[in-house]
Amino acid sequence: MTKLLEIDRLSVTFGGLHALKDLDFHVDEGEIVGVIGPNGAGKTTFFNMISGMVTPSSGDIRFEGESLIGLDPNQVAQRGIARTFQNVRLFPNMTILENVMVSQHCRTTQGMFGALFNTRSFRDEEADIRARGEEILGFFGTRLIGYRLEQPASVLSYANRRRLEIARAMAARPKLLLLDEPVAGMNPKESEELTTLIGKLRSEWGFTIVMIEHDMGVVRDVSDRVVVLDHGETLAQGSFEDVSNHPEVIEAYLGRPVEKRR
Amino acid sequence: MTAAVRAKSAPKTNIDRFLVVIKVVLIGVIAIGLLAFIAQQLAPDNTFAQWTHDGQEAQRLSWPQYRGLIVTGISQGAMYGLIALGYSMVYGVLGFINFAHGEVFMVGAFTGFIMANKLDEAGWWEGGMFIPAIILTIVVCALVSTATAVVMERIAYRPLRGSPRLIPLITSIGISFFIQNAVILLFGPGAKGYPSNPDWLEESIPGVGIEVKKLLVICIAAISMAGLWYFVERTKTGKAMRAVAEDKEIASLMGIDVDKTIVTTFAVGGAMAGIAGILWGILFRSVIATTGFLPGVKAFTAAVVGGVGNLGGAMAGGVSIGSAEALGPLMLLEPLGVKGVSQLSDAVSFTALILVLLIKPSGLFGERLSSEDRA
Amino acid sequence: MNTEITDSVHTVDTVSKGAFDVDWRKIGRLGGILAIGLVFIALVGMPVGLDGRLLIDPILSLGYLSLLWLPLIVGYSVGREVVLEGMAETKKGARDVVAGAAVGGLGGLGLSVLLVLVDNLDLRDPLVNWSPQLVEFLSFGSGLAFGFAAWIVIGVAIGGVGGLLHVLPGRGATAFVGAVLTVMLVAIFESFLTDVVDQLEFLYDNTGGLKVVWAVVLAVLAVAVALSGGFEKVSASRTAYQTRTGPGKARQTSMLVGIAFVALIVIPMVTGKVTQELLANVGIFLLLALGLNIVVGLAGILDLGYVAFFAVGGYTSAVLTSPNRGPQWPSWVPTLDGPGGWAIALVVTVLFASLVGLCIGAPVIRMRGDYLAIVTLGFGEIIRLLFLSDWLGGYFNGSQGITKIPSADFGTFEVKGTDPRSVFYLALAFAALSIYVSWRLERSRIGRAWMAVREDESVAEAMGINTVNLKLMAFVVGAALASFAGAIFSAKVGSVFPTSFEILVSIIILVIVIVGGMGNIVGVIVGSVVLVGVLGGPKQPGLLQEFSQYKLLIYGALLIWMMLQRPEGLVPNVRRTRELHQDEFLQDSWLRGEVDRDEAESVDAGDQLAGGMSS
């Protein structure tokens, strides 16, 4: 397997505080990697860094062998990395269909000329964007299609907003999908269903996935490999079983056993 | 914590390259202008000076001219700084530019004009009664401007709290427009002249060569600034203001009355603008309804240059802008052979704003904003 | 919904209250505001200044109307209550009339007190309108005591009528409002109506103003139409059109557009010079507003220096066509004043303005929204200062401006300022082009991306949208459209001066876009017709020439009022409305049952974590 994403000794500091410190990380093509860690461990900063929203202070990020350092977020997305956000950030006043249409922006090319003269290629591309959008929304069953297509995203329930956000990321046609807590706020039934869908994202759509998740059940079910972050450093990585029995990981989550501290 | 933290690496897109070109050109013009200025100070008949001045010999600036320019710059800058405080505080607390703040200043200058004329009729403005008269005028100006700012907040800004960012900004443009035209209609469109200052105010201090009125302006500004500093840093209300600027929600959880604090912020900013208004009157002795616009924009520039939310920075920014405006045309543009440079002093301060925003958008002395406003 | 709530809906009923059981504090507050408002209007000089213009001869002048409308509205609004769900609604009745009358009385008292003060104190020194004429006006020329009493009585009466509107049954209120509006509009637009149809002059008196007889006839007509349900039919058919969807609506829309277009071509042919001049101004400002609408409405960039591009457009075409341009231009810059020359100049102008747009846009586009506003304002001012300066005086003649700009000659069709109709047609053609451009762009990939940038810039960026390029594109398109307007303007007026391009122009265009409705083409058209057509442009008079002194004040007040009450504009764009009223929108759709709810209660994420670790 080839390495899709490689991260070398990556550090970021915010005013003297190390959000991430000498992080090494890699993702193989076709892998699903779970990233876990206690709150404030630097997980979201890690995603922000990959997607170009935060510039690292040192280290290197390579995607398909090319460095991403210094690229704008839109260039990173253009290279094939799409993400979701922990605190769901849809375009709330655009319709559901528009949300998935707009994220295909970087995969489409029609410019002002096509729009002004309504050329054949412009119409074809529009039809294509729309069809693709509907196809992607159909992945989540009937929840986001039909009469919903023309509704603004703000009327959706929390769980459906999460689904739509994943759909929006999928529509950007990435190779690597970064999911930030995809099942947060969902009930057990919903998260179980989404877990299956995440599996399908790889098997049917061919995405490589890095996922931050607090729900250990989900992490266990879909991850090939789990990486534990704490205080901006990698604490452990390996299979879910290895990691969950790792003494330092348990300590990071549950604290030091009382007797040791004495 | 998103787009604000931008990549600091080498230019990548055409726009970045273009921006570099702009920066290089602007800084280049400044550097060449300065060099040419130094050259013509040393040798007014050097080749470059002759070339830029169509074969004429360049004029050398004398020391008293310098001194005059610098004092003018600082006194005007002190006035801008006082206005800038209002922009800075409101931006710190509410996160929007109160575009109508220039109008609060203008209202102060107008009140000053009315007061000064009435006092002049009563014979107070001349002679020994000038000092009590000016103190009375300052108090009244500050009160009227405070009232204007508070009413403005109550009518127009409070109902808009929590609406999209640009809405209060657009509203403030409307307010500015409204106040300007209301003043034109209420008091007539022409320029209003202040009574002439007492003679001793117009004279220079012997030996030092600084005009008394400019010194007075600088003193009043310094005293107001010191008072404000004490208020913000040392009193309970000031602490509440800083807390609200940091995080409104948390502040209200801590038992701070956010509405009242915001009103106080507007009031204090208004008072400073009112004092600046009377300073304008002393310096230029004339006011019209559109007086607020340019000093307003320049004061905003000063606030940005000093770092928005940073009170000391606002004052320092004001002095920098005032000096740039006074010295820039003669020290940078005139040596390059630009004709009629005094017309371009406004353009110089706008260019300074653009340059600062391009090179160091957080201002020379650092911003102090709550995290939500930084994005 | 469970039964409890349904029950409570039934138990809640309207409550009747006695005639004097009113909220005195609210009355006091609104009455005070009304009094201040009336005194302000009086001191601003509107009543005296507009007194010469008769509306209904000899009863009512525009001056009195400028005071009388306010008590009516405040008297009406004092009785308006926010009805909360589940709360008892107060029955409308005599108390609304009492409240209205009380508020009106307080307002009237304000004027009465002002009258006494003006008569006894001399404040004419700062306040220019503190004059004997004001006393004369406020006392109706019949002495102080009469005036004092009269204003209180008038206030009570009009405020009471305002309150009465709540009590009247639906059609009654419509009839009253309809009658008043009809008479007032016919009276106010006297010059326009007689300009369009000469035969209407029989309605008016020689000295101006409707004849009383005809005023009564018009009022009776309006009442008759209202009582027969005529107004309701109009509004019903409008709702029918708005709610309609599918191909039927598209057909209706294209029919309406067609009718409007034909009307626009025909109207200038039948009207007189005054109206044509007006239409020409409307056309130029429409063009400007359409451009700014792309920048502000679609891409969400608040550009306050928009006038810069108008200026660049005007000056560039002036330099290229006028023989009177500055002497320092090198000879290779041609003077294109022959037939067809203007068209070539226009192409160069637009290209050059786009280039300037790019140069101004590039440094500012990354700044945050409010900084951008001020910096563009600065650029607008710098450009004007450069045109004004002695430094470039050899090119642009400084404050002398460039004069003797030839008319736009297309060979067969010549556009010149003395023939405003031709200017209107030219502006119309370009406006049609701009409308097409905005309409196509809005519905394209670019338009969608603009929308996303407007909603959440950093997410749009993370989704692969090059926000900087897109915003720059909007900026440049806006600049190009403004330069069209500039070129037409210079050809129409025949000269350009730096004073034609003050910041004022930017603000007025912004008001047009906002009042009409940001991001909405129909709104922008309505905005420019209503504002520029009726009130007038920055220097151009509108239909209400009497108001030219006060129009900027009205523009400012309008901008504030719109932002506070109706930020989405007169003709709202559905999406913009949603953005601006997100909470209310969600509430409404929740009440209609459109919001979907989660299938079950969400489980606390922390519990899941603990559960997962222990398993």
Instruction: For residues B2-8, give the mean pLDDT.
Output: 39
* All residues at 6 or more sequence positions from B29 whose CB lies less than 8 Å from its CB, including other chains: B332, B336
Instruction: For residues C513-522, give the mean pLDDT.
Output: 85
pLDDT of residue B4: 37
Cβ atoms of residues C285 and C537 within 8 Å: yes
pLDDT of residue B44: 73
Residue spans of alpha helices (H) in B188-310: 199-202, 212-234, 236-246, 248-253, 258-284, 293-306
Q: Which residues of C touch B193 (CB under 8 A)?
A: none
User: Is the model's pLDDT at B2 over the cut of 50?
Assistant: no
| Residue bearing tokens 């005195």 | C24
pLDDT of residue A256: 62
Neighbours of C416 (CB within 10 A): 15
Task: Identify the CA nearest to C515 among candidates C507, C524, C506.
Answer: C524
Which tens digit of pLDDT belongs to each residue from C159-202?
A: 888 888 888 777 788 888 888 888 888 888 887 788 777 777 78
Per the document, the length of chain C is: 615
pLDDT of residue C15: 67
User: Is the model's pLDDT at B197 over the cut of 90?
Assistant: no
Q: Which residues of A touch B13 (CB under 8 A)?
A: 72
- Minimum CA–CA partner of B342 in chain C: C389
Q: Enter the tokens of residue B309.
A: 């939310």
User: Is the model's pLDDT at C610 over the cut of 50?
Assistant: no
Instruction: For residues B255-275, give the mean pLDDT.
Output: 89
- B133-142, C152-161, C339-348, C403-412: lowest mean pLDDT where? C403-412
Mutation site for A-interface testing, chosen from C445, C453, C585 by largest number of A Cβ within 10 Å: C445
Banded pLDDT at C291 (limits 50, 70, 90): very high
Interface touch C363/B2, C-beta < 8 Å:
no
pLDDT of residue C596: 63
Return d(Cα C440, Cα C14) in angstroms, integer: 51
Mutation site for B-interface testing, chosen from C33, C374, C503, C583 by largest number of B Cβ within 10 Å: C374
Q: Which of C440, C464, C598 has the CB atom closest to A105's CB atom?
A: C464
Question: Vertex C141, ends C138 and C146: CA angle to 5°?
Answer: 70
Instruction: For residues B223-227, give the mean pLDDT.
Output: 90
User: Is the model's pLDDT at C314 over the cut of 80?
Assistant: yes
Task: Identify the CA nearest to A213 among candidates A241, A185, A236.
Answer: A185
Residue B165 sits at the chain C interface (C-beta within 8 Å): yes
**pLDDT higher for C602 or C93?**
C93
* All residues at 6 or more sequence positions from C315 whose CB lies less than 8 Å from its CB, including other chains: C387, C396, C402, C486, C490, C496
Banded pLDDT at B190 (limits 50, 70, 90): confident
The whole-chain average pLDDT of chain B stands at: 82
Cβ atoms of residues A92 and A33 within 8 Å: no
Top mean pLDDT of B230-234, C332-336, C337-341, C534-538 is at B230-234
Torsion of the alpha carbons at C480, C482, C483 and C486, rounded to the nearest 10: 170
Task: Identify the CA nearest to C43 among candidates C112, C101, C128.
Answer: C128
Return d(Cα C116, Cα C323) in angstroms, integer: 61
How many CA atoms lie less than 13 Å away from C347 in the CB half-sphere?
5
3-state helix, strand, coil in chain B (%, to 5): 75, 0, 25
Cis previous bond, A182, omega within 30: no
Return d(Cα C388, Cα C299) in angstroms, integer: 32
Interface touch C601/A187, C-beta < 8 Å:
yes
Return d(Cα C238, Cα B81) in angstroms, integer: 55
Q: Which of C445, C585, C606 has the CB atom closest to A105's CB atom?
A: C445
pLDDT of residue B6: 42
One-character DSSP codes across A222-255 = H-SEEEEEETTEEEEEE-HHHHHH-HHHHHHHH-
pLDDT of residue B370: 55
Q: Which residues of A touch C586 (CB under 8 A)?
A: 154-155
Q: Are strands A17-28 and A3-14 parallel, antiparallel or unpaired?
A: antiparallel
**pLDDT higher for C420 or C4?**
C420
Q: Enter the tokens of residue A200.
A: 């399908």
Interface touch C369/B18, C-beta < 8 Å:
no
Beta-bridge partner residues of C414: C409
Q: Which of B114, B300, B338 has the CB atom closest to C391's CB atom?
A: B338
State the smallest CA–CA distance between residue B234 and chain C in angstroms.
31
Instruction: For residues C90-114, give the mean pLDDT.
Output: 85
Q: Which of B2, B8, B13 has the CB atom closest to A53's CB atom?
A: B2
Which tens digit of pLDDT belongs to each residue from C24-64?
A: 888 888 889 999 999 999 888 888 888 888 888 777 888 88
* All residues at 6 or more sequence positions from C310 whose CB lies less than 8 Å from its CB, including other chains: C288, C482, C483, C485, C486, C489, C501, C505
Cβ atoms of residues C36 and C117 within 8 Å: no
User: Is the model's pLDDT at C85 over the cut of 70?
Assistant: no
Torsion of the alpha carbons at C396, C401, C403 and C406, rounded to the nearest 10: 60
User: Is the model's pLDDT at B61 over the cut of 60?
Assistant: yes
Which tens digit of pLDDT belongs to each residue from A87-146?
A: 888 888 888 888 888 888 888 888 788 888 888 888 888 889 989 888 888 888 777 777
Beta-bridge partner residues of C541: C536
User: Is the model's pLDDT at C10 over the cut of 50?
Assistant: no
Which tens digit of pLDDT belongs to each residue from C520-578?
A: 888 888 888 888 888 887 878 877 777 888 888 888 998 898 888 877 777 777 666 77
* All residues at 6 or more sequence positions from C438 whose CB lies less than 8 Å from its CB, including other chains: C290, C293, C294, C298, C521
Task: Identify the CA nearest to C508 among candidates C521, C486, C527.
Answer: C527
pLDDT of residue C604: 40
Burial pattern B188-208, b for ≥16 Cβ within 10 A else e, equals beeebebbebbeebeebeeee
Q: Is the pTM of this model over 0.90?
A: no
User: Is the model's pLDDT at A222 over the cut of 70?
Assistant: yes
Amino acid present at C336 = L
Q: Which residues of B touch C386 (CB under 8 A)?
A: 347
Torsion of the alpha carbons at C282, C285, C287 and C288, rounded to the nearest 10: -170
Beta-bridge partner residues of C14: C89
Interface touch B12/A48, C-beta < 8 Å:
no
Return d(Cα A242, Cα A224) in angstroms, integer: 12
* All residues at 6 or more sequence positions from C571 whose CB lies less than 8 Å from its CB, including other chains: C516, C517, C520, C522, C523, C526
Amino acid present at C218 = L
The number of angstroms, rounded, from the C-alpha of A85 to the middle of its chain's C-alpha atoms is 7
State the smallest CA–CA distance between residue C319 and chain B in angstroms.
21
Interface touch C40/B182, C-beta < 8 Å:
yes
Which tens digit of pLDDT belongs to each residue from A229-254?
A: 888 788 888 888 888 787 777 777 76
Top mean pLDDT of B101-115, C249-263, C512-526, C598-612 is at B101-115
* All residues at 6 or more sequence positions from A131 whose CB lies less than 8 Å from its CB, including other chains: none
Q: Which residues of C touch A191 (CB under 8 A)?
A: 608
Residue spans of alpha helices (H) in C189-306: 190-196, 212-227, 230-243, 247-270, 273-292
Interface touch B166/C550, C-beta < 8 Å:
no
Banded pLDDT at B10 (limits 50, 70, 90): very low
Residue spans of alpha helices (H) in C121-141: 132-138
Interface touch A77/C582, C-beta < 8 Å:
no
Q: Which chains touch C (3 or more CB pairs under 8 A)?
A: A, B
ipTM of the complex: 0.89
**pLDDT higher for B7 or C317?**
C317
Interface touch B5/A52, C-beta < 8 Å:
no
Q: Which residues of C touch B15 (CB under 8 A)?
A: 362, 365, 468-469, 472
Cβ atoms of residues C516 and C289 within 8 Å: yes
Instruction: For residues B352-373, give the mean pLDDT.
Output: 71
Residue B173 sits at the chain C interface (C-beta within 8 Å): yes
Return d(Cα B82, Cα B64) in angstroms, integer: 27
Q: Which residues of C touch A102 (CB under 8 A)?
A: 448-449, 451-452, 460, 463, 465
Q: Which of B7, B8, B10 has the CB atom closest to A72's CB atom?
A: B7
**Torsion sign across C-alpha atoms C114, C116, C117, C119:** positive
The number of angstroms, rounded, from the C-alpha of B218 to the middle of its chain's C-alpha atoms is 14
Interface touch B3/A55, C-beta < 8 Å:
no
Which tens digit of pLDDT belongs to each residue from B72-129?
A: 888 889 999 999 988 888 888 888 888 899 999 999 999 988 888 888 888 777 767 7
Count A/B contacts: CB-CB distance under 8 Å: 27
Instruction: For residues C328-356, give the mean pLDDT.
Output: 84
Q: Which residues of A touch C598 (CB under 8 A)?
A: 157-159, 186-187, 190
One-character DSSP codes across A151-188 = SBGGGS-HHHHHHHHHHHHHHT--SEEEEESTTTT--H
* All residues at 6 or more sequence positions from A51 whose CB lies less than 8 Å from its CB, including other chains: A73, A76, A77, A81, A83, A178, C462
